[in-house]
Structure 1
Amino acid sequence: MHYPEPISKLIDSFMKLPGIGPKTAARLAFFVLSMKEDTVLDFAKALVEAKRNLSYCSICGHITDVDPCHICQDKQRDDTIICVVQTPKDVIALEKMRDYHGLYHVLHGAISPMDGIGPEDINVSPLLKRLQNERVQELILATNPTIEGEATAMYISRLVKPSGIRTTRIAHGLPVGGDLEYADEVTLSKALEGRREL
């Protein structure tokens, strides 16, 4: 199907977003055309402002509109614990929980030799500098439970071990409300490994 150039460009732009195929992109483009002009302008302005006004915190790497970010500036946080995560979305997920009161370090990825991503391609060296300069007593490795996330956690734990800083890994296992019969072998194995006394 041939679309007029403006809508074709809009469809192509939507297709650059993750998980958006040609049909969804076309549906979104036609939806935008049906929106009021001021709503579309507000949407476009929000996109541009987010891109221009957000950056990464110079301390932890979290996404922020001030530097350092609000979490790093918060004197109420426990600065003896750093939780290492892969993306800013992970920080947001952990913050929703409201149980963790330490600091964060965002790696912006995970080691993945298959994709050509090594330790030098993620935010590891700034983490090591932080560990030398700050009074950290525990490093929580909260990378994803994937092969890449596990490899990254192992790599960081080996680097940190000589410093004497306690290094822990978040537990993996069954979700609350999940059924054993539907869990895969790796999840069940991790659940058994991470068991604790009641």
Structure 2
Amino acid sequence: MAQTIAGPEIERLIQLLARLPGLGPRSARRAALHLIGRREQLLGPLADALAVARERITVCSACGNVDTSDPCTICRDPSRDPAIIVVVEGVSDLWALERAGAIRAGYHVLGGVLSPLDGVRPEHLSLDSLVARAGRPETKELILALSATVDGQTTAHYVTELVRHLPVTVTRLAHGVPIGGELDYLDEGTLTAALRQRTPF
């Protein structure tokens, strides 16, 4: 049995850090020691920021984004096209699309993708509210910006079936060769998708 070296407060900090994505027990210990070693510069401000986040950050009841207001800043933005809803798996995907600045539309965060192996079923995702939004007169297109995994594509097909009765166009992101990508470094699935979705030049 491993011996406990640090006090219970430090152990709890390590355990909580280890729950974060990408941080295992070793990385969590290093992060905890770094924070403790820089208490004034990092630990205090981090604790304050977490307290403020817990108090003020909320989930948008319209789209599922996280913000300090409900509805969120994106949903309240009058410059966005109300006819288009971009459907994403999680908030990180929404943020990635916003950083790209490629479209000025609304979003809908599903909160995951269907995954029978992981026990994620339709009732675990925000599908009912998506269908309700897709049925509004102003909505003309749903862009399914879901991952190119089996679960992502299964979810895309499921969403398409859910809204088939509505007068809304369903599109999805193209999959293929990334800008700056060299063919020799791409996997077979990406090359196959690129060939199938080729466009006139």
TM-score bin, normalised by smaller chain: over 0.9
Give the SS at the match of 1:81: strand
Give the SS at the match of 2:132: helix
2:61 corresponds to 1:88? no
Which whole-Å CA distance do the structure 2 matches of 1:124 and 1:35 have between them? 44
Structure 1 residue 108: Cα displacement: 0.7
Which whole-Å CA distance do the structure 1 matches of 2:195 and 2:120 have between them? 31
Which whole-Å CA distance do the structure 2 matches of 1:188 and 1:119 have between them? 31
2:167 corresponds to 1:182? no
Give the SS at the match of 1:154: helix
Structure richer in helix, relative to its length: 1
- Mapping 1:17-166, distance limit 5 Å: 17-37=20-40, 39-166=42-169
Q: Is the CA contact (8 Å cut-off) linking 2:35 and 2:42 kept in structure 1?
A: no
Which whole-Å CA distance do the structure 2 matches of 1:102 and 1:29 have between them? 40
Match of 1:171 among 171, 174, 189: 174
The code of the aligned residue for 1:162 comes to H
2:192 corresponds to 1:196? no
Structure 1 residue 90: Cα displacement: 1.0
Deviates more, 1:63-72 or 1:170-179: 170-179
How does the TM-score come out when normalised to structure 1?
A: 0.94
Give the SS at the match of 1:162: coil
The code of the aligned residue for 2:180 comes to G
**Percent identity over the alignment?**
39
How does the TM-score come out when normalised to structure 2?
A: 0.93
The code of the aligned residue for 1:158 comes to E
Structure 1 residue 44: Cα displacement: 0.7
The 3 A distance-change label for structure 1 pair 84 and 161 is: same
Give the SS at the match of 1:84: strand
1:119-169 superposed Cα distances (whole Å, 9 cap, x missing partner): 111011001111223411111000111111111111001111221311101
Q: Which runs of 5+ in 1 are unaligned?
A: none
Structure 1 residue 192: Cα displacement: 1.2
Which whole-Å CA distance do the structure 1 matches of 2:180 and 2:71 have between them? 39
Query: Please, what is the CA RMSD of the aligned residues?
Result: 1.4
Which whole-Å CA distance do the structure 2 matches of 1:61 and 1:155 have between them? 19
Which whole-Å CA distance do the structure 2 matches of 1:17 and 1:104 have between them? 26
Name the counterpart of 1:2: 4
Which whole-Å CA distance do the structure 2 matches of 1:12 and 1:36 have between them? 18
The code of the aligned residue for 1:73 comes to R
Which whole-Å CA distance do the structure 2 matches of 1:34 and 1:163 have between them? 58
Q: How many residues align?
A: 198
